[in-house]
Amino acid sequence: MKKQKKLKQMEYLAHYSQQRKEKQLLNEHLMNVSRIASNLAAKISCPETAKTLGLLHDLGKYSSTFQDYIKSATGLSEDTSEQIDYENQKGKIDHSSAGAQLVWNELTKKDNDIKRQIYSQFLALCIASHHSGLIDCLTPDGEDGFTKRMQKNIEFTYYEEVLKNADKEIIEKVNDLLSNDKAYQEFLSIISIISQNKKNNSELIKRFQAGLLLKFMFSCLIDADRTDTADFETPINKRRRQFGDYISWDILVERFEEHLKALENKSDKNKINECNKRKENEKHCSHIHSKLNPLTCSVGNGIKDIFTNIFLFYFNGFINLLRLGYQNFGNNHHAGSCHH
Protein backbone atom coordinates (compact mmCIF):
# COMPACT_ATOMS: atom_id res chain seq x y z
CA MET A 1 0.00 0.00 0.00
CA LYS A 2 2.81 2.41 0.81
CA LYS A 3 4.44 1.68 -2.53
CA GLN A 4 1.20 2.40 -4.37
CA LYS A 5 0.83 5.70 -2.54
CA LYS A 6 4.35 6.70 -3.49
CA LEU A 7 3.73 5.98 -7.15
CA LYS A 8 0.50 7.93 -7.00
CA GLN A 9 2.28 10.97 -5.57
CA MET A 10 4.66 10.92 -8.54
CA GLU A 11 1.78 11.24 -11.01
CA TYR A 12 1.65 14.91 -12.03
CA LEU A 13 -1.52 16.07 -13.74
CA ALA A 14 -2.11 18.84 -16.23
CA HIS A 15 -5.88 18.34 -16.66
CA TYR A 16 -8.62 15.97 -15.62
CA SER A 17 -11.89 15.20 -17.41
CA GLN A 18 -14.58 14.54 -14.84
CA GLN A 19 -16.98 13.48 -17.57
CA ARG A 20 -14.68 10.74 -18.91
CA LYS A 21 -12.81 10.13 -15.63
CA GLU A 22 -9.60 10.54 -17.57
CA LYS A 23 -6.30 12.16 -16.63
CA GLN A 24 -3.90 14.08 -18.82
CA LEU A 25 -0.42 13.80 -17.39
CA LEU A 26 1.65 16.96 -17.26
CA ASN A 27 4.54 15.59 -19.30
CA GLU A 28 2.09 14.58 -22.04
CA HIS A 29 0.60 18.08 -22.15
CA LEU A 30 4.02 19.75 -22.28
CA MET A 31 5.16 17.47 -25.11
CA ASN A 32 1.94 18.04 -27.06
CA VAL A 33 2.07 21.82 -26.72
CA SER A 34 5.75 21.79 -27.69
CA ARG A 35 4.99 19.82 -30.85
CA ILE A 36 1.97 21.90 -31.90
CA ALA A 37 3.70 25.21 -31.22
CA SER A 38 6.77 24.04 -33.15
CA ASN A 39 4.64 23.16 -36.19
CA LEU A 40 2.97 26.57 -36.08
CA ALA A 41 6.24 28.49 -35.73
CA ALA A 42 7.84 26.51 -38.55
CA LYS A 43 5.95 28.84 -40.89
CA ILE A 44 8.54 31.50 -40.08
CA SER A 45 11.43 29.07 -39.52
CA CYS A 46 11.36 29.20 -35.70
CA PRO A 47 10.33 25.64 -34.70
CA GLU A 48 13.01 25.14 -32.02
CA THR A 49 12.12 28.39 -30.28
CA ALA A 50 8.46 27.44 -30.07
CA LYS A 51 9.39 23.92 -28.97
CA THR A 52 11.22 25.44 -26.00
CA LEU A 53 8.24 27.62 -25.09
CA GLY A 54 5.90 24.63 -25.17
CA LEU A 55 8.05 22.50 -22.87
CA LEU A 56 8.45 25.23 -20.27
CA HIS A 57 5.12 27.05 -20.22
CA ASP A 58 3.45 24.90 -17.53
CA LEU A 59 6.56 23.78 -15.68
CA GLY A 60 5.16 25.33 -12.49
CA LYS A 61 2.41 22.71 -12.43
CA TYR A 62 4.97 20.27 -11.04
CA SER A 63 4.61 22.00 -7.68
CA SER A 64 2.82 20.09 -4.93
CA THR A 65 0.64 23.18 -4.37
CA PHE A 66 -0.75 23.04 -7.88
CA GLN A 67 -1.15 19.27 -7.77
CA ASP A 68 -3.06 19.48 -4.49
CA TYR A 69 -5.23 22.16 -6.09
CA ILE A 70 -6.14 20.22 -9.25
CA LYS A 71 -6.73 16.99 -7.34
CA SER A 72 -8.93 18.74 -4.78
CA ALA A 73 -10.87 20.55 -7.50
CA THR A 74 -11.54 17.33 -9.41
CA GLY A 75 -12.19 15.10 -6.42
CA LEU A 76 -9.10 12.97 -7.01
CA SER A 77 -7.52 13.72 -3.67
CA GLU A 78 -8.33 10.88 -1.26
CA ASP A 79 -5.99 12.13 1.44
CA THR A 80 -7.88 14.81 3.36
CA SER A 81 -4.58 16.33 4.51
CA GLU A 82 -3.80 17.19 0.86
CA GLN A 83 -7.18 18.75 0.12
CA ILE A 84 -7.28 22.54 -0.16
CA ASP A 85 -9.90 25.23 -0.59
CA TYR A 86 -9.64 25.07 -4.39
CA GLU A 87 -12.39 27.61 -5.06
CA ASN A 88 -10.39 30.36 -3.36
CA GLN A 89 -7.16 29.17 -5.00
CA LYS A 90 -8.41 29.26 -8.59
CA GLY A 91 -6.10 31.45 -10.67
CA LYS A 92 -3.91 32.30 -7.68
CA ILE A 93 -1.28 29.54 -7.92
CA ASP A 94 1.63 30.77 -10.02
CA HIS A 95 2.56 28.07 -12.50
CA SER A 96 3.97 30.28 -15.27
CA SER A 97 6.92 31.98 -13.55
CA ALA A 98 9.06 28.90 -12.91
CA GLY A 99 9.58 28.11 -16.60
CA ALA A 100 10.28 31.78 -17.35
CA GLN A 101 12.82 31.97 -14.52
CA LEU A 102 14.52 28.80 -15.73
CA VAL A 103 15.03 30.01 -19.30
CA TRP A 104 16.12 33.45 -18.08
CA ASN A 105 18.60 32.08 -15.55
CA GLU A 106 20.11 29.49 -17.88
CA LEU A 107 20.52 31.68 -20.94
CA THR A 108 21.69 34.91 -19.34
CA LYS A 109 24.50 33.17 -17.45
CA LYS A 110 26.09 32.03 -20.73
CA ASP A 111 27.52 35.42 -21.60
CA ASN A 112 26.79 39.15 -21.54
CA ASP A 113 25.91 39.35 -25.23
CA ILE A 114 23.07 41.86 -25.58
CA LYS A 115 21.42 39.78 -28.33
CA ARG A 116 21.29 36.73 -26.09
CA GLN A 117 19.87 38.87 -23.30
CA ILE A 118 17.10 40.03 -25.64
CA TYR A 119 16.46 36.46 -26.77
CA SER A 120 16.26 35.29 -23.15
CA GLN A 121 13.77 38.02 -22.36
CA PHE A 122 11.84 37.12 -25.51
CA LEU A 123 11.32 33.53 -24.31
CA ALA A 124 10.73 34.42 -20.66
CA LEU A 125 8.08 36.98 -21.61
CA CYS A 126 6.07 34.45 -23.62
CA ILE A 127 6.20 31.82 -20.87
CA ALA A 128 5.45 34.18 -17.97
CA SER A 129 2.56 35.79 -19.86
CA HIS A 130 0.70 32.78 -21.21
CA HIS A 131 -2.22 33.18 -18.80
CA SER A 132 -2.30 36.95 -18.48
CA GLY A 133 -1.43 38.44 -21.84
CA LEU A 134 2.02 39.91 -22.46
CA ILE A 135 3.17 41.60 -19.28
CA ASP A 136 4.55 45.13 -19.25
CA CYS A 137 8.35 45.10 -19.14
CA LEU A 138 8.05 48.72 -18.08
CA THR A 139 4.93 49.40 -16.05
CA PRO A 140 2.84 52.58 -16.41
CA ASP A 141 4.43 53.73 -13.14
CA GLY A 142 7.90 53.43 -14.64
CA GLU A 143 8.88 50.27 -12.75
CA ASP A 144 10.89 47.42 -14.26
CA GLY A 145 8.07 44.87 -14.35
CA PHE A 146 10.07 42.21 -16.17
CA THR A 147 12.99 42.07 -13.73
CA LYS A 148 10.55 42.08 -10.84
CA ARG A 149 8.84 39.00 -12.30
CA MET A 150 12.13 37.18 -12.94
CA GLN A 151 13.25 37.92 -9.39
CA LYS A 152 9.98 36.84 -7.82
CA ASN A 153 10.57 34.88 -4.64
CA ILE A 154 11.09 31.23 -5.59
CA GLU A 155 8.98 30.28 -2.60
CA PHE A 156 6.01 31.57 -4.55
CA THR A 157 7.11 30.32 -7.98
CA TYR A 158 8.08 26.86 -6.60
CA TYR A 159 11.22 27.06 -8.74
CA GLU A 160 13.40 24.57 -6.90
CA GLU A 161 10.55 22.16 -6.23
CA VAL A 162 9.41 21.94 -9.84
CA LEU A 163 12.95 21.30 -11.06
CA LYS A 164 13.15 18.46 -8.58
CA ASN A 165 9.71 17.05 -9.44
CA ALA A 166 9.74 17.48 -13.21
CA ASP A 167 9.83 14.37 -15.39
CA LYS A 168 13.34 13.44 -16.43
CA GLU A 169 12.36 13.40 -20.11
CA ILE A 170 11.14 17.01 -19.94
CA ILE A 171 14.26 18.31 -18.17
CA GLU A 172 16.54 16.49 -20.62
CA LYS A 173 14.77 18.00 -23.61
CA VAL A 174 14.82 21.47 -22.06
CA ASN A 175 18.53 21.21 -21.26
CA ASP A 176 19.24 20.07 -24.79
CA LEU A 177 17.31 22.97 -26.32
CA LEU A 178 18.97 25.53 -24.06
CA SER A 179 22.48 24.12 -24.43
CA ASN A 180 22.56 23.96 -28.22
CA ASP A 181 22.04 27.20 -30.07
CA LYS A 182 19.57 26.10 -32.75
CA ALA A 183 16.72 28.14 -31.30
CA TYR A 184 18.99 31.12 -30.66
CA GLN A 185 20.24 31.03 -34.27
CA GLU A 186 16.64 30.97 -35.50
CA PHE A 187 15.98 34.11 -33.52
CA LEU A 188 19.11 35.83 -34.82
CA SER A 189 18.17 34.99 -38.42
CA ILE A 190 14.74 36.60 -38.12
CA ILE A 191 16.13 39.65 -36.31
CA SER A 192 18.77 39.96 -39.02
CA ILE A 193 16.09 40.00 -41.72
CA ILE A 194 14.26 42.75 -39.85
CA SER A 195 17.33 44.87 -39.16
CA GLN A 196 18.81 44.53 -42.65
CA ASN A 197 15.63 45.30 -44.56
CA LYS A 198 16.62 48.31 -46.65
CA LYS A 199 13.01 49.43 -46.91
CA ASN A 200 12.93 49.99 -43.15
CA ASN A 201 15.26 52.85 -42.36
CA SER A 202 13.32 53.77 -39.26
CA GLU A 203 14.57 52.27 -36.01
CA LEU A 204 11.03 52.62 -34.67
CA ILE A 205 9.64 50.43 -37.46
CA LYS A 206 12.31 47.79 -36.82
CA ARG A 207 11.43 47.70 -33.13
CA PHE A 208 7.76 47.45 -34.03
CA GLN A 209 8.43 44.48 -36.31
CA ALA A 210 10.50 42.78 -33.60
CA GLY A 211 7.48 43.27 -31.34
CA LEU A 212 5.29 41.57 -33.94
CA LEU A 213 7.72 38.63 -33.96
CA LEU A 214 7.32 38.36 -30.20
CA LYS A 215 3.53 38.44 -30.50
CA PHE A 216 3.58 35.82 -33.24
CA MET A 217 5.61 33.41 -31.10
CA PHE A 218 3.39 34.17 -28.13
CA SER A 219 0.35 33.37 -30.27
CA CYS A 220 1.92 30.05 -31.33
CA LEU A 221 2.27 29.10 -27.66
CA ILE A 222 -1.25 30.20 -26.72
CA ASP A 223 -2.81 28.47 -29.71
CA ALA A 224 -0.91 25.25 -29.01
CA ASP A 225 -1.80 25.29 -25.31
CA ARG A 226 -5.49 25.86 -25.93
CA THR A 227 -5.64 23.40 -28.82
CA ASP A 228 -4.19 20.56 -26.76
CA THR A 229 -6.42 21.40 -23.80
CA ALA A 230 -9.52 21.52 -26.00
CA ASP A 231 -8.59 18.25 -27.69
CA PHE A 232 -8.22 16.56 -24.32
CA GLU A 233 -11.56 17.91 -23.10
CA THR A 234 -13.33 16.98 -26.35
CA PRO A 235 -11.34 14.23 -28.13
CA ILE A 236 -13.58 14.24 -31.20
CA ASN A 237 -12.27 17.72 -32.00
CA LYS A 238 -8.80 16.32 -32.50
CA ARG A 239 -10.03 13.86 -35.13
CA ARG A 240 -11.65 16.71 -37.04
CA ARG A 241 -8.66 19.02 -37.07
CA GLN A 242 -7.00 19.47 -40.45
CA PHE A 243 -3.75 20.91 -39.03
CA GLY A 244 -3.16 23.19 -42.00
CA ASP A 245 -4.13 20.63 -44.64
CA TYR A 246 -7.25 22.54 -45.60
CA ILE A 247 -9.59 21.74 -48.45
CA SER A 248 -9.09 24.13 -51.39
CA TRP A 249 -11.61 26.81 -52.27
CA ASP A 250 -12.21 25.16 -55.66
CA ILE A 251 -13.39 21.94 -54.04
CA LEU A 252 -15.58 23.83 -51.54
CA VAL A 253 -17.17 25.88 -54.33
CA GLU A 254 -17.78 22.70 -56.34
CA ARG A 255 -19.52 21.09 -53.37
CA PHE A 256 -21.55 24.23 -52.87
CA GLU A 257 -22.73 24.17 -56.51
CA GLU A 258 -23.57 20.48 -56.40
CA HIS A 259 -25.77 20.99 -53.39
CA LEU A 260 -27.52 23.92 -55.04
CA LYS A 261 -28.26 21.72 -58.03
CA ALA A 262 -29.77 19.13 -55.74
CA LEU A 263 -32.01 21.82 -54.28
CA GLU A 264 -33.33 22.86 -57.70
CA ASN A 265 -35.82 19.99 -57.56
CA LYS A 266 -37.32 21.43 -54.40
CA SER A 267 -40.77 22.97 -54.60
CA ASP A 268 -39.81 26.28 -52.99
CA LYS A 269 -38.15 27.96 -55.98
CA ASN A 270 -38.22 31.52 -54.67
CA LYS A 271 -35.69 31.00 -51.91
CA ILE A 272 -33.55 28.89 -54.21
CA ASN A 273 -33.55 31.66 -56.80
CA GLU A 274 -32.43 34.12 -54.16
CA CYS A 275 -29.51 31.86 -53.43
CA ASN A 276 -28.74 31.38 -57.13
CA LYS A 277 -28.53 35.13 -57.67
CA ARG A 278 -25.43 35.14 -55.51
CA LYS A 279 -23.80 32.74 -57.93
CA GLU A 280 -23.63 35.46 -60.57
CA ASN A 281 -20.53 36.89 -58.89
CA GLU A 282 -18.95 33.50 -58.26
CA LYS A 283 -16.53 33.46 -61.19
CA HIS A 284 -15.52 37.04 -60.48
CA CYS A 285 -14.90 36.30 -56.80
CA SER A 286 -13.04 33.07 -57.57
CA HIS A 287 -10.85 34.90 -60.08
CA ILE A 288 -10.02 37.61 -57.55
CA HIS A 289 -9.32 35.05 -54.84
CA SER A 290 -6.85 33.15 -57.05
CA LYS A 291 -4.93 36.33 -57.86
CA LEU A 292 -4.68 37.80 -54.39
CA ASN A 293 -1.62 37.52 -52.20
CA PRO A 294 -2.48 38.99 -48.77
CA LEU A 295 1.22 39.52 -48.01
CA THR A 296 1.84 41.83 -50.95
CA CYS A 297 -1.47 43.59 -51.51
CA SER A 298 -2.00 47.05 -50.13
CA VAL A 299 -5.01 47.80 -47.98
CA GLY A 300 -5.20 51.10 -49.82
CA ASN A 301 -5.94 49.25 -53.04
CA GLY A 302 -9.31 48.07 -51.80
CA ILE A 303 -8.31 44.62 -50.58
CA LYS A 304 -10.49 45.05 -47.51
CA ASP A 305 -13.59 45.49 -49.67
CA ILE A 306 -12.61 42.57 -51.89
CA PHE A 307 -12.18 40.15 -48.99
CA THR A 308 -15.38 41.44 -47.42
CA ASN A 309 -17.30 40.67 -50.63
CA ILE A 310 -15.78 37.20 -50.89
CA PHE A 311 -16.66 36.48 -47.27
CA LEU A 312 -20.21 37.75 -47.66
CA PHE A 313 -20.71 35.74 -50.85
CA TYR A 314 -19.79 32.42 -49.28
CA PHE A 315 -21.32 33.26 -45.91
CA ASN A 316 -24.68 34.13 -47.51
CA GLY A 317 -24.54 30.95 -49.55
CA PHE A 318 -23.87 28.90 -46.44
CA ILE A 319 -26.74 30.51 -44.55
CA ASN A 320 -29.09 29.73 -47.43
CA LEU A 321 -27.94 26.15 -47.41
CA LEU A 322 -28.84 25.95 -43.76
CA ARG A 323 -32.24 27.51 -44.38
CA LEU A 324 -33.18 25.48 -47.44
CA GLY A 325 -31.64 22.11 -47.09
CA TYR A 326 -30.66 21.49 -43.50
CA GLN A 327 -33.07 18.65 -42.89
CA ASN A 328 -32.32 16.87 -46.15
CA PHE A 329 -28.60 17.59 -45.88
CA GLY A 330 -28.51 16.24 -42.34
CA ASN A 331 -30.21 13.01 -43.36
CA ASN A 332 -27.73 12.36 -46.14
CA HIS A 333 -24.60 13.49 -44.36
CA HIS A 334 -24.07 12.35 -40.79
CA ALA A 335 -22.02 15.39 -39.89
CA GLY A 336 -20.31 15.78 -36.53
CA SER A 337 -22.19 18.97 -35.66
CA CYS A 338 -24.63 16.98 -33.56
CA HIS A 339 -21.85 15.97 -31.19
CA HIS A 340 -21.11 18.28 -28.28
Global pTM value = 0.71
Kindly give the residue spans of alpha helices, DSSP state H, lying in the chain. Answer: 2-9, 26-41, 47-56, 64-74, 86-89, 97-108, 114-128, 145-150, 154-157, 159-165, 168-179, 182-195, 203-233, 235-240, 249-263, 269-277, 282-291, 303-332
* Fold topology of 10-240: Hypothetical protein af1432 (1.10.3210)
Indicate the range of 82-96, 281-295, 323-337 predicted with least confidence.
323-337
Q: Taking 50 as the threshold, does the pLDDT of residue 93 lie above it? A: yes
Report the pLDDT value the prediction gives residue 301, as an integer from 0 to 100: 42
Quote the mean pLDDT of the chain: 80
- For residues 132-136, average pLDDT: 89
- For residues 242-248, average pLDDT: 78
In the chain, CATH 1.10.3210 sits at 10-240
C-alpha to C-alpha distances, 313 to 260, 281, 289, 309, 319, nearest whole angstrom:
14, 8, 12, 6, 10
For residue 73, which of 156, 21, 26, 16 has the smallest C-alpha distance? Answer: 16
- The more confident residue out of 203 and 286 is 203
Indicate the range of 72-86, 211-225, 266-280, 322-336 predicted with least confidence.
322-336
pLDDT in tens, 137-159: 988 888 999 999 999 999 999 99
- For residues 247-265, average pLDDT: 84
pLDDT in tens, 316-329: 555 554 444 433 43
Report the pLDDT value the prediction gives residue 110, as an integer from 0 to 100: 83
Report the pLDDT value the prediction gives residue 46, as an integer from 0 to 100: 95
